[in-house]
Chains A and B, each alone.
Chain A
Amino acid sequence: MASYSTPGVEAPDVELIARWRAGDERAATMLVERHASSVARYVASMGGRDGGEEVVQDTFVRAFGALDSFRGDSSLRTWLFTIARRLVMDRRRASRRQRDTAELQDGDLATEYDALDGLVAEEAHRTMQRAIERLTPMQREVFTLRVNDGMSYKEIADVVGTTEGAARVHYHNALRQVKERLHD
C-alpha cells in the first residue's frame, strides 16, 4: 500500500480515512489510537463514567459506519465528539434520569494528591472541582471543550448544537462563575 505521508510525520486524519476506505485496516487502528483517549475523557467529563468504554466503542463504530457522510467540514475529532455526545444523551434518556445535570462523583476524579502531602493543593483542587460541578450542564460542557480540549468556538458549536456566539457566551459565563466561586 503506497504511503503518501512524510516519514516521521503522522498522517493527517483525512489521509488515514482515505486509506481506510481503500481497504487499509491499519489506518483504522491509527485513527482509533489517536482519538480514543480524548473521546473517553469527553464522555467521562459528561458524567458518562458507567459504560464509558461501551460508549467510546459505539462512537467509533457509528463514525466508521457513516464515514461516507463525513464531509470534512469539521475535524474528525469534532465529529467523534458530536456522535459521543448524542450517545451519552441517549443513554441518559434511556436510564430515565430526572435531572439533566450529570454530576461528577467523588470517584470520578483521580486525585494525584493522594500521593502528595499538599493539603493546601488538595483543597484548591477540590474547590475548583466544586466550582466546575456547579456550572449548568451546557456551561460545564462548553467550558470543558474550550479549556480541556482546546476546541474553537466553531468546533464547540458543532459538537453541542448551538452557534459560535452562544458558545462564546456560555464560555465566558462559565469562566465568570468559576472565578466567583473560587473567591467565595
Chain B
Amino acid sequence: MTDCPNVQMRERLPDLLHDALDASDRAALEAHLAGCADCAAELAVLRSARHVMSAVRVPVLDTASIVAALPRPVALHLSGTVPRRSRTIFRIAAAVSFIRQAVSPWLSRGRSSAT
C-alpha cells in the first residue's frame, strides 16, 4: 500500500470519517477519492480502525450518580447563606446591644446619684 503524495488530502481523511469538513473541503476530498486508489485504501483502513477502536467495552455509566457527586456551583453556596445586607444589619444590632449592656451600669449609677 503506497501513500498518496497529496498531504493535504490525506490529512483530511479522518475529518471525513467524523463529518467534520465544510462543504467545499468535503466536495474536494470526495472528488480526489474518486480518482485516488491510495487515499481510498487509506480511508478504508481508517474506517476499519475506527470500527475496532469504538468496539472497546465501556462501563455502563450512571450519569445521575456522577451528577450527584459534582461540587455545587458557587451561586448555590451563596444563596444558602444569609444575604450580605442582612448580615450587616445583624452585626450593627449586635454591636448596639453590646454597647447598651456595657454602659447600662454607668447609666444606672447616674440616675441613682440624681435622685
> Which residues of A are found within 8 Å of B51, using beta-carbon distances?
125, 128
Known A-B contacts A128-B48, A129-B52; the reply to A60 vs B58 at CB < 8 A is: no
Query: Is A52's CB within 8 Å of the partner chain B?
Result: yes
B99 at the A interface (CB under 8 A) = no
B18 touches A150 (CB 8 A): yes
B49's closest neighbor in chain A, by CB? A147
Contact among B20, B49, B72, B79 with A178 in the assembled complex (CB-CB below 8 Å)? B49
Residues 33-56 of A, flagged 1 when their CB comes within 8 A of B and 0 if not, give: 100110011011100010011001
Contact indicator B17/A23 (Cβ below 8 Å): no
Question: Chain A: which residue is nearest B53 at the CB level?
Answer: A148
Contact A108 B49 (CB under 8 A): no
How many pairs of A and B residues are in contact by the CB < 8 Å rule? 123
**B59 / chain A contacts, CB cutoff of 8 Å:** 40, 44, 49, 52-53, 56
CB < 8 Å neighbour of B48 from A24, A29, A57, A124: A124
| 8 A Cβ contacts from A150-184 to B | 150, 175-176, 178-179, 182-183
Contact A44–B14 (Cβ < 8 Å): no
Report the 4 A-B pairs with minimum CB-CB distance, sorted nearest first: A150-B18, A23-B75, A148-B53, A53-B59
List 15 extra interface pairs beyond A43-B58, A128-B52, A150-B20, CB under 8 A.
Answer: A22-B73, A25-B67, A29-B63, A36-B61, A41-B54, A44-B59, A57-B65, A61-B70, A65-B71, A125-B52, A128-B49, A132-B52, A144-B53, A147-B50, A182-B1
